[in-house]
Structure formats: C-alpha cells, structure tokens
Structure 1
Amino acid sequence: MAVAHQPHRGNPECGPFDWIPIAIPTGWKHQKRVKTRENTDRAGRYGRILTRIGLTVFVGFFLNASEGFASDRLQEVNWWHRNPQPTGQHLSAVVAGPKSFVVAGENGIILHSANGALWETLDSPVQDTFMHALYTGGEFTLTGSHGIITSPDGVQWTERTPAGLGRGGELIHDLDRVDDRWAVLTGNAVYHSIDGDAWDRIPFQVTRWPRTAALGPDRLVIGLDNGMMLVHRFDIDDGWVEIPVLQPDAKAVSVAYAKGLYVARVTGQVLTSADALSWQASELEGRAWSSQLKHTPRGWISIEADATYAFSSDGANWERRTIDGFAGDWYDMDVSTAGTWVGVGRSGTLVTSRDGLNWDHRDSGAMPTLYSITHLHGRWIAGGADGMVVTSGDGIHWVATQVGRVGQFFKTHMVGERVYLWGGGYCDDGLCGDGLFFTTDGINWTKTETLPAELKPVQGLPDFHDSSLQPVWAGDRWLLQATAGSTATGSVFSSEDGVQWERVLANDFQITSLYGEVGLYIAGDVSGKIHVSRDLIDWTSVRLPSGGAISSILGSDGLYLASATSSGGGIFGSTDGYEWERLPITRAALYGGSEVDGSYWFLGEGGTIIEVDPRQPAPLANLSVRTSNAEQAPPVIAGFVIEGSESRDVLVRAIGPGLEAFGVEGVTSSPLLKVYSGELLMEESGAWTDRADADLIAATAERVGAFPLDPAGDDAAIFLTLEPGVYTAMASGLNTGFGQRLVEVYDAAEQENDQSALINSSNRGRIEPGGTMVGGFVVRGDRDRLVLIRAVGPGLAAFGLSGAASDPRLLLWHDDEIVDENDDWGDGVDPLGVADAAAAAGAFQLDMDSTDAALVFQASPGNFTIHVTLPEGGIGGEVLLEVYYLDR
C-alpha cells in the first residue's frame, strides 16, 4: 500500500472538501499481479522524476545577430565562449536523457555529460556522421545516413540498423521513435517497426527529397523539401495521402509530433494539425535549418538559419531567439526535464543555458564534429563516426576512446556490469565490423573471440547481425544466440568470461530468444519451441501451441514468461521452465519484451502493450502531521486518497493529551476529529474511549505500530472501512482551537491487497516562529519509493488564502538523521526536477521565485519524519504539508 496525497488544483482553501482522486489502472491477476495496457505511454507508468538543475544545451553554430527578438530582454542576453581548445569537428545532434546529455556529430563522435558543463568523449560503435538524436523508450538513439545506434545510458552503444539500410543499402534520411515504435525514412520508403527488431518496408514515390518523418499514434507524416507532406495511416493501410504545398515557394518541411499535435516548419510559416490532414498556419519569418524541429520538456524548438532558433510553448505561437557571440553554423539543441539547455555546432562548439537565454560555452574535448548529445546514469555521451566513443562523468572532462577498426558501433547492450558494442558497417566471419566488444567502465574495451560458426541473421527479424547476437547474463556465465550458415540452424554459445565461447546448443531452427539464471537456461526458436536445460548439456524441448516464433523470454524467482509472434500467440507462463500454459491476457501477436524496473513489458500487433508486474507493492503506509496553534486558528487538515477497486481499513487519530508523554507542551486538551468524503461527513469522534469500538481501535493501533494512547486522555480516534476515493481528516479543539495536536492516518489493512492502496496525502495547519510542524510517513515493503514532499506557505496566496506562513523550511528525518532538506525550492539542487515531479503528480504549480519548500527523495522502507519550521523573524501562518507518491 502507498500513501501520498493530491490537493485539488482549484482552491486549497476549501479545507476538507478540496481533494481529487488519483486513478491507477488495475487488471487481471494470475499467480502474481498482472496489468494490461493498450496504446499507452510507458512513461505514464514509470514516471520516475529523474531531473536535474535547470540547464539547456544547444548543439551547432551561432552567428552574432540582434534581429528578430520578441522582447528587449532577449537583446540583453550575454554569452561567454569557453572553448579554449576547439576540436575542429562539427557537432550536429544533441539529446537530453533523464540524467545526462548526449551530443553527436561528424566522424562518429559522441560526447556525454551529466550536467551540460563537463564533457567526456566516447568511442562509437560505427563510423558515421550522426545527424539526429532521440531519447525515448529508456534509450538514447543516434542516427546517421549509414546506420542507427542506441544506448541505455549514453555511454555504451549498440547498432540497430534495419536490414537493407546503411552501407551498401538505402541511405537514412531521418528517424523518429516513440518508445518501442520506430520509423526510419529513406529516399523512397519508410521502415516501420513496433519493437526495433521486426521491420516493415512501406514504399512511396516522390520526385522531391524526403527530409523528415514524424511518428504519431496511428499515422506517419513525411516532409518533403518542396513544402509538401505525405501521410500514411497504419490503422487503415490505404497508402499515402498527399498534403499539397500550403505556402508558395516553401522549402524544407520539418515535421514533428508530440502531445497530440503535429507541427511542420516551412519557409515563412509554422503549420499545426491534430490529425496531420487539416493544417493551420501561423507566420514565422525565415526558414528552418536542416531538419531539426523537436518537442522538449520546455516546449517546441526549431533550429533556424543565421544562428537563431525559434521557441514556442504551444506549437502555434513562436518567438525567434539568437545567441550573441556564437560564430558559425549550429545544428541541434535539446532541453532536459530539469531545464538544462544544450546546443552543438561546427568545430566542436557546445553551449549550455539554464533558461534558454543566457549561455555558457563549454569545452567538448572532442576532435570530430558533434551531432547529438544525451545523458543517463550520471554519464554524458556523444557519438560520431570512426568508431569513437566519448565519455564524461561530469560533463567537463572528457575521454575519447577508439574502439574497433572501421566499423561503426550502432548498438550498445548493457548486461549486468558489462556494456557490449557490436561492430557495424562491415561483416567478417559472421560478426559485423571489428567484432563484439565489451567494457565495464566505458573506457577500456575487450574484444571477444570470433564465434565458432558462420553466422547470418535470424529469418523474420531484421537483416543485421546484432539482431541475433544478444548476450544474456545467466548469473554465472554469458549466453549468446546466433544463426549459422546457409542451413539456417540456430546455436546458443556459452562463455564464463565473455571472451572465449563454446557452443552448447545446436538447433534445427533459428534461436530467437534467450533467458538464463544459475541452474536454468531457456531458449526459444522461430518454430515456437522452448528448449530448457539445467546444465547446458542435456536439453528438453517443448512446443508451445502458438505456432509462432518465441520473441522473448523473461522471468525470475520461479515465474517465467514467453511471448509468441503468431496471430493468437500471446503470453505463456511457467514456474519451472519445462511446463508452460497460456495466460488469458491476450492472444495478440507479440514481437518483443523487456524488463523495466522489475516489471515485464510485452508489445505486439495493434499497439498492444502488456505489463506483467510480479512484485508486491511497497506502500507509503502511514502519514501524520502535527501543528502548533498558538491562537484560535482553523482546524488541522489531513487529506488522503484510497485508490483501487476494493475498500480499505483506515485508522485516523487526532492526538492532543497523548503528546505530553513525549515532552510536548501546550497541547490541545480535547481534540475533535472529523472525517469527510467530499462534503459528506463520514464520522466524527471526541474521546476515543467513549466509543463502542474502543477495543478495536486500541488493538489496531498496536497492530500497525502506533504508540498507545492513555485511556484517561481525551484523544480522538476513528476506525473506518472506506471505499476508494478522496477523504479529509479535520482535527480541531472540542472547546478551544488552542494548542498542539497530531493528526495520523494509518493503513489498517490486515493483509496485503493489490486492489487498493492509500496513496497520497496533504495536511494543512498553522505554524509560528520558533515552532515546528511535524509530519511523517512510512514506506512498507522491500523496495524504495520516490516521493515528493512540499511545504507550501506563500504559494497558498494564489488561491486567495490569507495568513499563510512566509518562508517554510523542510527537514526530512530518518533514523534520527537529517537525510534531506530544502528552504526555498527554486534555489534547491534540482528545482526544475521538483517542478516536473509536481506536474507528474498533479500538484498545483509553485512560483519559481517563491519561498515555499519542496524536495524529491528516494525513500527506502522505514519511518520518515518531516519537520517544517520558520526562520528567525519569519511570519507565522498556514502551511500546507504534502507527500506525493510518484512511482506507483
């Protein structure tokens, strides 16, 4: 169960009636919790707030310019060039990940930075000039004309080029990706995939140059260099619809899609559409540079000619900006969720900003031109050609490493503590490029021995070798699947060190998926068979009734899942790897699966997305708040939310006299407790010993770990069984409003129940200088929870609430130690990250310049206490203390 709270966006002054529920999907249950979702965004499920200090990074060239500013403020922007050793190589693409930036460019160069200031150079798995960079689906993606590489962390890269593309095939013009859906644009076709492995080629005929592609939920838009667009709908598969030129002499259509809106940039105009068929035009003088039009956490950005860029918060209203002192062309920019801007350009130029207006020039430390940038897991990564990989732990100091021969490393695959690079571009002895490499630090690389087999791609999967060379860590060894020679037989190889490999399974059909743990090894093939072994010597084969290839095998702790690609394929489950049964979740053909934060995700036809979550919830179980009412004041208010489909037992207490045992003075003598659902009073209570269920209340308090109350005291308590919804607990004085009081809400469920949870809470009370408002919560279970904690005082004024505290300060305690703290949230470590967390939780927005306090914290299982205080000379008043549970 989990506790967090969500105040209504409307008016926090509404007291007990100002709460809204947070809906969490539920689904079918089989052995362990299973949730099914179709056509949903993975980020909605795993919305962990991994953000950083507000900083923006641009990639490319800037020229001195002063025209086109929408305000005088932009003309006052100051720039500093801090590139003491220009690299001489062009940077052309930049992308921001949850924790880092990646920049890429000419000759396969890749740069990585955790903060946009300190950069390191990485070796790339391929030699190519990277022109496009994306972060989606938990991966960074870099694209050049000859190939595609991806990385989970921006440091380790893997090639993902579809068959028939790149060197010796069709050149790549553009790539768009939304999670596991891909669209790769060439001169006369689009390669589409729902898993990055199996691709469909959708041809088209045009006389003009295709420039960009935008992938929407059910359709694809292509922009041509004469201002025309082509639209293809996947749901009806009726070919292509031509959108005529909407602006005379228009050139270079750049298209992008985000948040339900298609946006296109043509000469002199920006076009917007909700369906990609009917477009509305707004004026924007000039033309877009190259094909860089993208949506960032701060809004829409179009890379313009003459060292400028255009910015729009809604896609329709645009403002042109420039960077003074940026000489030369520039190619790309991106913004992290924390508000860091990064721009890259010619000759290794790299600039950063915290607001998109004031910029610092950084030393990229790269020799080739950079075309893209991104960041993840504390390391910055930039990619380019010549097999170079560039890494940095701080974004300032960079290390460049040459890996391989001339092959371009398009793909990075992280397994355990190792990252594998697959050489791309050329294939010898069944391996592409210079072979298969791995690293444990992103700097030092080890080349594996050539596998003892002539390899070729798996039939029905993309025609490139890394589709069949996916390493799997099995707890005590590495497993690798491959397809051999003209016979198209499949093999599984084993290695204890990742260098020397031994064939352990030779199969009549291609191996399409692998899973391994110590003492259990499972392989799936293209014919629908599962092959199981305890020792990698004796194998048992089981045919699943799907008739299709086994696209993925996932599992742990006695639960193993396999997905099949055929129509009616679906998901099969096993507890030992030998006996399998179809799970009644879906019969859709599934083309891929992966583990994300302990859950198993499967994707397939018709946009099917299925999550299987084997974990028990680690809830925020209990919450409490104590305030000091030095004078007659409104009641102490605690709001909480129960989500799910079943009722929940809750114990609510309002404690006054019971605080004296802890040395608290000036307590409320006779608290009065009321619990509301909206405007409906559910129950109220004075002294808990006067209630008929006093014995139940005492027993429940002991069971949930609450401190015992003196039967002679007049503390109040209520035991309730509540349906899912939003509730408010109000604690006032029965005879007076004076004194300190503690309000507690406990999850009183006797057994764990996946079908309901206490998730969000907020509490409002009064605090005076020298006093402390005390709150608390408990994290149950065996895994950490990400929480947002806010103490809002001045922010309440926006809702017409007078008498708010002037400058609240937050202190978070755990095991008698302060584990985190914040005073003015806008001056904290990661203010834009906190703002993003609030937006994700549905909390009302705070002014960046306010003196409210807020922080995001990864809470381990246990008890946490929150102190809210005021500085010396502060003005006392109302404070809203909130705890939001972010990663449900």
Structure 2
Amino acid sequence: MLKKEKNLIFILVFTLTFQFRFLSLDLSPSWQWVNPYPTGEDINKVIFADGKYYAVGNCGTILSSYDGKIWEKHLTNTSADINSIAFNGQVFLAVGNGATVLRSFDGFVWNKVSFFESDNFIDISVIDGKFIAITDTFPTGGNIYFSSDGNLWGIAIKSTSDEIFYFRSLCKIGSNLYALGGCSFYDSQNGNWKQSAVIASSVDGENFEIKEYDLSPMFYSLSKNENLFVCSGYNNETLKGILLSSSNLENFEIIAQSPGETIVKEIIYNGSNFYAITSKSPFSFSSSTENYILKSDSGLNWWAVAEIENDEFRSICKGKDGFLAAGSYGTILKSEDGENFFRPTFSLKLYGWLYSSTYAKNKYVVIGTDISESGWKPIIYSSGDGIEWKKANLPENLYGGLEKIFFDEQWGKFFAVGSSMMISSEDSLIWATVNCNNISNYNDIFCNGTMCVAVGSMGDYPAFQASNDGVNWKIKKLDKSGKVHSISYGNGIWVAAGQKLNGKLKIWRSTDGIKWKKVALPSKKLTGQTARIAFGGGIFLVSTEGSYLLKSENGSDWILIEKPDKLNALPLIPSLSYKEGLFYGLAQGNGAHFISSENGAEWAVSNEFSKLFILDVKFDGEKFISVGDAGAILFGN
C-alpha cells in the first residue's frame, strides 16, 4: 500500500513575455508548474484518448502525457475550473464551471466555444459519436446536453420547478451511457418533496430513460463486469459512503461501506477487475481524511491497493501501460500492474506554509512553517536553480514558524524572523540563533544598508529591535498596546504599519529606527491586521484589509487613495513590494492574482492563477519568486 508523504511544496514557473517595466499593463502570464510536477492545482478528471493521457483541473488546467511521467501544459486562456474532458475520435471537448466549453482538434491548441446557458458543467462523455454533457447549478438543478461538435447543443433532460436533478457523473458501459445523480421532486399527493437517486440511460444521447431508487439519495458512479453492475452512493441514515450491486439495474443491494469518512467517487472495470477511488465525504467534518484506491475481482469483495493522506482522488483511468489516478493538489499515482501504485514525478517533502522568500548569493531561499507530525517547526529550503532544493540546518529546539527573510548586503547575511526567534546565516544552509533579547513575536525585518530593524510585539505592545552591526540589538517596546506587522525605509525615514488591539490600523514613524512615534491617519475605520508597507518612487504605500491603500512622501502625512475598481473583489493584499519603477504584489479573493502599479493608484490585476493562498512575491531583477499556502513556490521570468 502506498502511503502519501506529507509533501506539499509547490514550484511553478511562468514566463512573462514583456519586460518588467511593462507590468502595469493588464497581463495574464502563462504558468508552468515544476513541483509538484506537472501541477499543484486540483486534477478533476483523467482520461486516455488518442494515444495520450489527458488531465484537466482547476484554474483552466489542461495537461497531456504519453507515459504519465512527462507532461505538457496547454494554453486555455481561462481561469475557470475544468471538470471533465472527452474525445469522440475527431474532436476534444473540455468542460467546466461558468458554462466553460473548450474545443481542440489536436489536443494541443484549445479555443473557447460559446454556450447559451450559464450552468456549471460537471462531466462530459461520448456516445454514438455525440458529446453528452451534464450540469449541476444550484439551486436550479442540472441538465443533460448533447452536441456533435461542441458548437451547437441540444437539451435532452432539463430540471423543472417540480423535478430538480443533481447529476454527478456520466458512465459509458458498452453501447449505453448512464447519467448518475439524485433528484428532488414534488409529491403532489402527499404535498411534500422527496429525494431519490437516479440513473438516466441512453443509447443515442438524446433520449433517456430515467429510473429512481430509494436506497440512496445520490449515486456517484457506475460500472459493470460480465454479470454485475456496481454503483456508489451514500446511506441516507448513516451518511456513510456505500457500494451497491445489481444484476439488471432494477434493484440494488448494499455490498460494502466506503472506508472511513469517504465516498466512492469513480468506478471503472478493465476487463478483469474493478477499480474505485475515494474522496472525502460531503458529510465529513474531519480536517484530514485518508483516501484510497480500491480493487475487486468480483465487485463484491474489495481491498485497498493505495492510500493517501490529506488529499483526495478525483478520477482514475486505464491507459496503454497501466492505470493513472489523480486528485487534489496535483496528486498523480500510476500503476503498471494495478496493484503497486507510485508517484511518477518528484516533489519536496513539506506539509505547511511558506511565508517569505528572497534571492541572494545566487540562491533562492524560502522560509515558513512545517506542521507535520513533529509539531509546528520553522523550515528553510535553499536552491541554486529552483529545481533541486536543500533543506537548511536550523538550531535545535526552535518551535513555531518563520515569517520574514531579508538579506543584508553590508554584512553578507541572511536574517529570518518569526514567532519568538531571530536566526541568521551566511550561506542559507547553516543557521544560528541571533543572541539578543528576543521580542515575543516577530513579523518583519528590513535592512537599509547601515541598520536592520525587526518588528513585532512583546505581549500586547508594539516592539522594535534595531542593530547597526547585526550582533548587538536594542529593543524598544511602546507604551500603547498594539502589534507591528510590516516595516520599510525610504527618504531617510523608517515607517512601520500594524494595528491596535481592537484591530484598527496604526502607523509609526522614526528617523533613527529606535525612537518611534505614531502618526495621524485620514480614516479611523481602516483595519490593520494584514497591513503591508512598501517604499518606492519617493512614496510610502500601505495596504490594509479590504485592499484599501494609503500613500505618503514623509511618513507623517497620509492620503487615502480611492479604491480601484479592480481591487473591489479582492479583499486582501498579503504582499506588497517595489522594484524598478513599479509597485507589485499579490491580491487574494477566491484565488491568487498578481497586481502592479506605477503610482499606487491605478492597478493592473491579472487573471486568477491559482486556487492556493499565495502569501508573498519578490522580484530580484530577473525573476519573481512567490510562496504561500501548502508550501507553494512560484518562479517567473
């Protein structure tokens, strides 16, 4: 049985076709995942068609591979989640959320096809040369559509106000196509609503026969050997995932319960054995769940052949050289014999978050928190090329996470701070504790060439720690309660941003990095829990929760910038920096967006490029490096 390592460092490489000075234009960079390879986005469906594996997933992901090891990403020009893909022998169609339909004649070049509805596509398959697609849109329900080319669509089944379908999958068995899901219908005789599982079957994709079943409120997948249909659903009383069997689709009986808090997401039959994959049950409240690849020679007795932790499977298919299973966070497992599943690609071993990064001494360095079984521990990785990474040696008995890293050119040292620790290194691999009276919680550090200042809090009070040699440090704890989150330097002035204990924004100013005074703000309504500050082009720029922005030339007089429309839907700016004439950073809404501005007032916002929570971005003059949730690392030229 394969046990998944807790290995969620992600590396992406993307190429910007413009020089950095043009980042104020509205760009949509092309992204390429390197680790976990080939993607860190959720993979929702895998198929084997036209001699290749195809995988589709979140943020417009479409990948192809001949062997499941070396993958090629295809440009889709959409950030919509792609849920399924099918091939009718001449044309590929990929479908997803927001009525997304993508078409390709070669599997390489993809173009968007207009669709007259606004449904979310769940699955697509082929019967008799026609594409059949199912949708599921809350609260109006799901429909079944058919098309010969993906351009013109007809409707086979449509939900009504009295009969609402919730389709989950399409399963082709022989010359029949089955749409599985659930149905809510109004019982006029009893005056109430009832719910049952449904299977809609068709031989032409246009005319369907619908059967309802009371044994389960929802069916998820269906497969068949020579004698037996095997179906997955869940028990209405126990809310546990179940496997059911039937000889003729008239009556089902429960044969097994899905392991743990899972449901069986998909079942396939390869001519000799059944294979099934599990996902976390929609009724599970557990923060982590083990998921499995199950096998059966008869459909009645099942056993696990692979297991993963914290991720879930979404799809499995049979290819020319074995099986391929895929799921969340880019999980891919392959097996040549159906018994031994392995990861065909490499990934670093980290389960946690990365908060900050830098590039110095020809090395990329990322820092964060590892929350594996050993507890919350600081972690640092270093790489010369962004492909091969080495785990740094840290002092023993350090607990908590690292928040910020900064390289000071004057002393030739890396400094990293977080929780109640400050550590330093000359080579990024061997780190030592900085012997100083540590403040209780560090949040940021900045060096201006002659002095380094670290900021955070001591209990409920703002704290600043300054040094002009990297060895001797002076602490200044302010009398008024609050916390300092970010610091910068410019125009001969130090400026820091943070919050009061009630969460309201607070900004401090200093001419020497030791004596600090708070400054007046143009609004008392702004919050400072996520305040970030950057200096460039002669001005300080502060971002706050809600993506509000303030600017100042002297750190004393602040102006509230009118909030740009493009940032209205992005309530958080977790990273803000300045380089070569531009402010740049990250904005978070339902996903991560790259933002840039020449003056701090007019902003370009990229399309969503990841569902992950990206926390920091830096530019070293040649490449971007971004880090974030689940150990994400992104590179960009």
Report the structure, 1 or 2, having the larger helix content: 1
TM over 0.5: no
Give the TM-score taking structure 1 as reference length: 0.29
Greater relative contact order (Cα < 8 A, sep 6+): 1
TM-score, normalised to structure 2's length?
Answer: 0.39
